Amino acid sequence: MYDVTIVGAGIVGTFIARELSKYNLNILLVEKENDVSKGATRANSAIVHGGYDAKPGTLMAKLNARGNALFDKVSKELEIPFERIGSFVLATNKEEMDTIDELYDRGMENGIPSMEILTGDEIREMEKNISKNVIGGLHAKTAGIVGPWELAIALTENSMENGVELKLNTEVKDIEKNEDNYKIKTNNEDIDTKYIINCAGIYADKINNMVSKNAFTITPRRGEYYVLDKDCGVEFINKVIFQSPTKLGKGVLLVPTVHGNLLVGPNAENIDDKEGTQTTYDGLRFIKQISNKSSENIPFRENIRTFAGLRAQASTNDFIIEESRDAKGFINVAGIKSPGLSASPAIAEYVIDIFKDIKKDLKFKKNFNPIRKAPIVFMELDDKQKNNLIKKDEKYGRIICRCEMITEAEIVEAINRAPQARTVDAIKRKVRPGAGRCQGGFCGPRIVEILARELNISPEEVLKDNNNSNILVGKTDKGNGGNMDA
């Protein structure tokens, strides 16, 4: 019997798992996918918002402001990439400047520090590639960028070090509500638990409806993105660039990433398919057209990939974070769309406060360890440090990914370090081979070999990402004097 079972291992579920691991509890984190951070956490704008945009009085406003302030401490404890680079919201006409004034006033009401309204010329002094049509904007100095999947992975690792159990490939099929506990029926086994925290993202409504008649609806909202090469990155834009917001969101953004790339996007399209993460011609064309409003010089010729993610749009238009009224001990954490990433550390705090009202005898662990030591990043070391590592382990001397300068030793550690990276893309999320200019064209076959060797499986069993995404399917016939894998 588990004390608490958390359903969903995205950024919110993993933050809650870590926060709960500070207490003497038997905690289980379940995820239907074969890795953590595979939903909205891996496909978003990677922004820690300043907090001026959310409507005052909402959970979004309250938790964004608090969450933003927590990121310095969290990033230091977990050793994950986070930078406070600031953001601009741009205006190109009088009507949009009125919106800028409203955002500033809203930010003041939300208690957001370090904001200022600047003229177009003042903005261009800081960002040379901003459109000449920009007449002014809002500068929020506390906004930042983060590595979202690196954060979720680090949270999971630290949680597991503090006693949390993780079960992947475990899909909740039904939940049976008993007098004082729950039985979760999954594709693998039945799980007995006293309490459930529903962090299932776009499927949170489905999980809620298994136990509660108080229904809500989650609509998938698709956003598509371009990823531009590192040659662009901070050389083109230094801060997060927003357009004046509309009813559908914050417009098409320009976002430098913590790894030096440039994101351009997203669009916003409500869809019915909760697995609809494909990119579209119309969506990508829209992004190109609308992004020109921020800058006429975006070097789309440097695009190295496109992707799409789904945001969880709740019917309440606010975060849903509460104990179900007709299912005691069942806590919904749903509708966590933007600024969900920014609010995530504060969401975890908020959930713990709710849980303390449910279980009043919570006791802190004396041995909780908040520190997670990050894995070695070989390319960031000086020559002396690199040579010393190679002397200790020759695998540090073998570069597998030339674009990102990732060594075999780093890949092996990613496979063997909890939570295990067992697919090509899981390794990419952990240590970035395949994230560079060639997108795995050079390193991909070597990673397959290393995975097969370390996991003691055949190359045909190695997955790209999702289950059944086998890369190799068998041997080709001999020809031209050779034999190749198909």
Cβ-contact 55, 107 below 8 angstroms: no
Rounded-to-integer distance, Cα 405 and Cα 377, Å: 9
Cα angle, residue 218 at apex, residues 213 and 222 outer, rounded to 5°: 170
Residue 476: both structure tokens together: 């080709």
- What sign for the dihedral angle of Cα 299, 301, 302, 304? positive
Q: Is 366 helix (H, G, I), strand (E, B) or coil?
A: coil
Could you say which of 18, 32, 38, 49 is catalytic?
49
Instruction: Return the exposure string of 288-302: e unless at least 16 CB atoms fall within 10 Å of the residue's CB, then b.
Output: eeebebbbeebbeeb
d(CA 378, CA 295): 35
Residue 252 CA from chain centroid, whole number: 18
Q: In which region does residue 193 sit, left (phi positive, over 0), alpha (psi from -120 to 50) or beta (all else)?
A: beta
* Residue reference for tokens 């239907």: 32
Residues 6+ away with beta carbon under 8 Å from 259: 81, 147, 230, 432, 435
What 3-state class would DSSP assign to 76? helix
Interatomic CA distance for residues 420 and 436, integer angstroms: 22
139 is catalytic: no
Closest CA to 261 of 211, 219, 225: 225
Per-residue burial over 339-360, b if 16 or more Cβ lie within 10 Å, else e, is: bbbbbbbbbbbbbeeebeeeee
Distance set, CA 348 to CA 248, 251, 301, 321, 353 (Å): 27, 28, 41, 10, 9
CA distance 389 to 348: 38
The catalytic residue positions are: 49
